[in-house]
Amino acid sequence: MMNELFNCLARICEEHAEQLADWPVVKESDPDAIRDYLSPFDFSHPRPLVDLTAQMASGLQQWNVHVPHPRYFGLFNPAASQASVAADALAALFNPQLAVWAHAPFANEVETHVLRYFARQLHYPETASVQFTSGGSEANHAAVLAALAHHFQRYLQDGLAALSRKPVMYISEEGHHSFEKIIKNVGLGLNGLRRITVDSRQQMDVEMLRRQMQEDRANGYEPFMIVATAGTTGTGAVDPLKELRTLADEAGAWLHVDAAWAGTALLVESIKQALNGIGSADSVTMDAHKWLSVSMGAGMFFCRHPQTVQAAFGLQAGYMPSQSSAEPYLTGLQWSRRFIGLKAFMTLAHLGENGIRQQMEQQLSLADLLHRSLQQRGWQVLNESPVGVVCFSHPGLRQDAALTDWLYQLTLQKGDFWLSTYSIRGVKAFRACITSTHTTEEDVEALVDFLDSTLRIKLGCV
C-alpha cells in the first residue's frame, strides 16, 4: 500500500518537474468549477488513497498560480527545493512534537544546528535566542513583544495600561504591513506605528526619523523600537542599518531588522555588503521559505537577548514536561511545534553552501539581465535594489496608469507570466523578481519581449 502510494507521489513529482514549464503560470479560476470538483467528496464513504492523491494533485495543477514556474516573477515565493519535498514527508511521518526538547531531541537539534548556522552569518553570540516560526510575520510579532518586554518593566505584569507614556515604534513607509497587524494585536493601535518617509532610493530617511522621535518624546510618547527593513517587498530597498543602530542607541530603542527576503542570502558577498550592520540589531527576521527556496512556511527569529525572550514568552504549565526555561514552547508564540527546520537543514545539506550561493547569484544575475534588457528596449528601471527586485515602466506608460493596468491584466490573462505592479514615486510600475530556481535567461528575455512588443502594437509604433 505504502509502495503504491509513494509510486503515485513519485509520478506526480516527475510530471510536475517535466510539465511545469508548459502549464500556464496563472489561469483564471472559476470558484463554481472548483466547488463542483469538490462536491462528490461528501465524506460519506472511504476512498482509495492513491486515487485521492491523484485527484488532489490534479486540482492543484488546474486551479493554482504556479509559483515554482520559471516564468513566475513574483512576490518572493520560491520553487521549493527537492529536499523540502522529502523533508515535509518525513516531518509528517514522524510528526515530532518540538514543544519541549526531550520530546524531540533529534528534531530540536536539527533546528538549532541550522539556526546557529544563520546566527553565525549575523555574528550573533552563541547564546542568542533562535527559533523557527511559521513565517516572517510571526517572527516580526515575536520581535515587537520582546522589544516591549525589554523596554517597559511593567509591561509583562500590568500590561500597557500601566505605562505612563504611550509606546510608539517606527518603520519606513516601505516597511512590511505585517507590522500593522501586529501593532493592532499588541494593543497599541495603528497610531502606535509611525511610518517614516523614504528618500529617493526608498530607504528610510534617518533625519526624518530623528525629528519624529524628538517630537514624539516632547508629546509624551515613548519611542521603544525601530524596525529597519533589509529588502523591502515593493522595491527591494535596504534601510541604512548602521545609522539606524546609532540612532536606536541614542534613543535607547530596540532595533529590529526585517530581512525576511534577503536575510538567507547573506552568504552572497554583494548581499553581505548591502546588509552591512545587520548583525548589530537586537533581533532579526529571516524567511527560509523565500530566497533559500524552502517550502512554506519557514520563518526564523534571532534575538541577541535570550533572557528578554524567555521573560516575554515564559510561563509555568504543570502538565508540560519542561526541564528548562529555554524550551521551545517557552521562547516563542507557538505551543505545539511542527518540524519546520528539517527542510531548511536538508536543503542546505543537499546543495551545500556553494550550491545555494550559486543559485542565489544566478537569480541576481538574471535580475541584472532583466534590467539591461529593459533599458535596451527603451524601458526605464525606477528603483535601485541590491536584492534583485526590478520595478520598471516605459515612457509611453509612465503617465498612464490605465494603460499600465491594461497591459498588466492582458499579461495575466494570457497566462504565460506572473508579475506584480507597484507604485513608486507616483508611477505605477511593473515589479519583477526572480524567485524560481528554474528561471533561465530565455524566460527573462521572453518577458521583456512580450511586454515590449505588446505595448508597441498598442501604441502604434511597431
Residues at the interface with ligand PLP (CB under 6 A): 76, 135-137, 176, 178, 229, 231, 233, 258, 260-261, 287, 299
User: Toward ligand PLP, which CB reaches closer, 202 or 322?
Assistant: 202
Asked if residue 321 lies in contact with residue 179, where contact means CB atoms within 8 angstroms, the answer is no
Give the shortest CB-403-to-ligand PLP separation in angstroms. 29
User: Toward ligand PLP, which CB reaches closer, 152 or 301?
Assistant: 301
User: Toward ligand PLP, which CB reaches closer, 258 or 282?
Assistant: 258
Asked if residue 258 lies in contact with residue 230, where contact means CB atoms within 8 angstroms, the answer is yes
Distances (CA, A) of 255 to 76, 139, 241, 245, 248: 24, 14, 9, 7, 6
Our measurement of the distance from residue 43's CA atom to the centroid of its chain's CA atoms, rounded to an integer in Å, reads 36
Would you report the helix, strand and coil content of the chain in percent, each value rounded to 5? Answer: 50, 15, 35
Give the shortest CB-81-to-ligand PLP separation in angstroms. 17
Q: The C-alpha cell of 178 is what?
A: 505585517
In residues, how long is the chain? 462
Give the shortest CB-287-to-ligand PLP separation in angstroms. 5
Give the shortest CB-298-to-ligand PLP separation in angstroms. 8
Give the shortest CB-236-to-ligand PLP separation in angstroms. 9
Closest CA to 295 of 111, 148, 115, 84: 84
User: Toward ligand PLP, which CB reaches closer, 282 or 327?
Assistant: 282
Give the shortest CB-102-to-ligand PLP separation in angstroms. 29
Asked if residue 430 lies in contact with residue 408, where contact means CB atoms within 8 angstroms, the answer is yes
- Contacts with 294 (C-beta within 8 Å, 6 or more apart), sequence order: 78, 80, 81, 84, 288, 343, 344, 347
Report the alpha-carbon angle 245-227-286, nearest 5.
100
User: Toward ligand PLP, which CB reaches closer, 229 or 439?
Assistant: 229
User: Toward ligand PLP, which CB reaches closer, 188 or 227?
Assistant: 227
Give the shortest CB-230-to-ligand PLP separation in angstroms. 8
Q: The C-alpha cell of 305 is what?
A: 537577548
User: Toward ligand PLP, which CB reaches closer, 203 or 310?
Assistant: 203
Closest CA to 358 of 308, 419, 293: 293
